[in-house]
Chains A and B, each alone.
Chain A
């Protein structure tokens, strides 16, 4: 019962803050709404017994990525509203498209099927602690995808370094 209520609360908050995040005029407030959203997503993970994922969700998304977003917002523009040209010029066309999208998404819901039961039912995960369960699976069954993901991230890091380092010698020469 409590879990159900907690889930409802989290779900309502996620949808609500998600809507607020895209409708608020001040970009910093929008980022704050996303922060609240991430916390409730961590709450959902907790319901599923995925405590490690919940903590990492807050540390990585709320603690690092959103702070970087804030950094960019602060350094680019401060309090001004961001104004852009409309992507779809007619308002009614936009409404029709969004309603169509919504209807097709809801129509797809019945095709949703539950996945197969894995080796780790809830009781097992709680017994072994989620951190251990996740580590065991990741470093044994899914070691190859894990390493590939690591490699892709490494490529991104090197790419970032190359881009950031690109201009430094010439600017020093000029000055």
Chain B
């Protein structure tokens, strides 16, 4: 019985997340459109509201082309690895008090583990396609993810030290319901590092070198078509959502808000996650891309020392103030 309930919960979460992913693409196209003084999608449905559904159906029924020289098994598996890893990390995210599939003690580490697994999908896609563009995209993504994962992990150590736990629900509870209790204030350096590392981890502008269209066509997913290409897309958007959720939980106080919304407890969580998503899209519409050596030097020479310094600082403050 318990297993059945859990299964139904998983299905509901999956359906909701997939709808969110579909409409996140709409959200992005609309916002970028308006920022560039265009209308964005307008044709399908009222103000293009059915566009994501149309896109989904289209990509689902398109031919799934596998290049002749590709490593077929790896090529087929790569998008699935990506999507599965991203979806799995949703299991530990608390959307509201008690609204979590698996309330495990190492939630934060679990998400890191899954995001490092997702990078395998990208790397393998790049390698298995047997094309130089995808291969370069895969290599870039690999180096980028390894470098920025270090910075991201270290930036969250400050949060772990303040809350004294790795359990995401307890991290939110440790921040309390008040505005000043949010960890963004005592951990402002960590938030800065986390935010930049988050952009790089999800391969978003200005760090989207793995899929830099001006030099690499479409990067690691150049050879993919139809549903498998769409799966990479979904994985990227779920990745954005997971990272936004982590930012919300660790720095913005999770589901707590100025007043409680009793009909829909995760209200403030969703608002905060969408604020993060908006900033993601805003940055995409605003900033140009970094050069690769700049990306590496920011990661290793700026973010990691900053995050390490933040750990020492937090440790000292915690040791002296108790």
A interface residues (Cβ-Cβ under 8 A, vs B) = 26, 28-29, 32, 35, 51-52, 54-56, 58-59, 62-64, 67-68, 70-71, 74, 79, 129-131
CB distance from A30 to the nearest CB of B (A): 12
Residue numbers in B under 8 Å from A51 (CB-CB): 104-106
- A sample of 6 inter-chain contacts (CB < 8 A) reads A26-B71, A67-B120, A67-B142, A67-B146, A68-B146, A79-B71
Let me know if B116 is at the binding interface, CB within 8 A: yes
User: 0/1 per residue, B5-32, Cβ < 8 Å to A?
Assistant: 0000000000000000000000000000
User: 0/1 per residue, B109-131, Cβ < 8 Å to A?
Assistant: 11011001101100110010000
CB distance from B77 to the nearest CB of A (A): 9
Specify the chain B residue showing the minimal Cβ separation from A73: B127
Whether the pair A59, B116 counts as a contact (CB closer than 8 A) is: yes
Specify the chain A residue showing the minimal Cβ separation from B115: A63
User: Contact check: which of B112, B139, B145, B165 meets A55 at CB < 8 Å?
Assistant: B112
Whole-angstrom CA separation of A35 from B77 in the bound complex: 14
Whether the pair A55, B116 counts as a contact (CB closer than 8 A) is: no
Let me know if B225 is at the binding interface, CB within 8 A: no
Specify the chain A residue showing the minimal Cβ separation from B138: A74
Residue numbers in B under 8 Å from A70 (CB-CB): 123, 127, 142
User: Contact check: which of B105, B112, B139, B166 meets A71 at CB < 8 Å?
Assistant: B139
CB distance from A21 to the nearest CB of B (A): 15
User: 0/1 per residue, B144-168, Cβ < 8 Å to A?
Assistant: 0110010001000000000001110
Whole-angstrom CA separation of A87 from B233 in the bound complex: 48
Let me know if B74 is at the binding interface, CB within 8 A: yes
Knowing A63-B117, A74-B127, A131-B166 touch, does A55 contact B146 (C-beta < 8 A)? Answer: no
Whole-angstrom CA separation of A29 from B71 in the bound complex: 10
CB distance from B256 to the nearest CB of A (A): 23
User: Contact check: which of A62, A71, A130 meets B113 at CB < 8 Å?
Assistant: A62
Given contacts A63-B113, A64-B146, A67-B123, 8 further A-B contacts (CB under 8 A): A32-B74, A55-B106, A55-B112, A59-B112, A63-B119, A67-B145, A67-B146, A74-B138
Whether the pair B74, A55 counts as a contact (CB closer than 8 A) is: no
Whether the pair A131, B120 counts as a contact (CB closer than 8 A) is: no
Whole-angstrom CA separation of A54 from B109 in the bound complex: 10
Task: Choose among B113, B123, B135, B139 the residue with the greatest number of A CB atoms under 10 Å from its CB.
Answer: B113
Knowing A28-B127, A71-B142 touch, does A63 contact B112 (C-beta < 8 A)? Answer: yes
Residue numbers in A under 8 Å from B142 (CB-CB): 67, 70-71
User: Contact check: which of B105, B139, B146 meets A129 at CB < 8 Å?
Assistant: B105
Residue numbers in A under 8 Å from B165 (CB-CB): 129
Whole-angstrom CA separation of A48 from B235 in the bound complex: 32
Whether the pair A59, B113 counts as a contact (CB closer than 8 A) is: yes
Whole-angstrom CA separation of A70 from B167 in the bound complex: 32
Whole-angstrom CA separation of A71 from B153 in the bound complex: 21
Whole-angstrom CA separation of A34 from B105 in the bound complex: 26
Whether the pair B106, A35 counts as a contact (CB closer than 8 A) is: no
Knowing A28-B74, A51-B104, A129-B105 touch, does A74 contact B113 (C-beta < 8 A)? Answer: no
Residue numbers in B under 8 Å from A29 (CB-CB): 74
CB distance from A116 to the nearest CB of B (A): 27
Whole-angstrom CA separation of A87 from B110 in the bound complex: 42
CB distance from A63 to the nearest CB of B (A): 3
Whether the pair B123, A55 counts as a contact (CB closer than 8 A) is: no
Whether the pair A52, B149 counts as a contact (CB closer than 8 A) is: no
Residue numbers in B under 8 Å from A131 (CB-CB): 105-106, 166
CB distance from A59 to the nearest CB of B (A): 5
Knowing A129-B105, A131-B166 touch, does A55 contact B110 (C-beta < 8 A)? Answer: yes
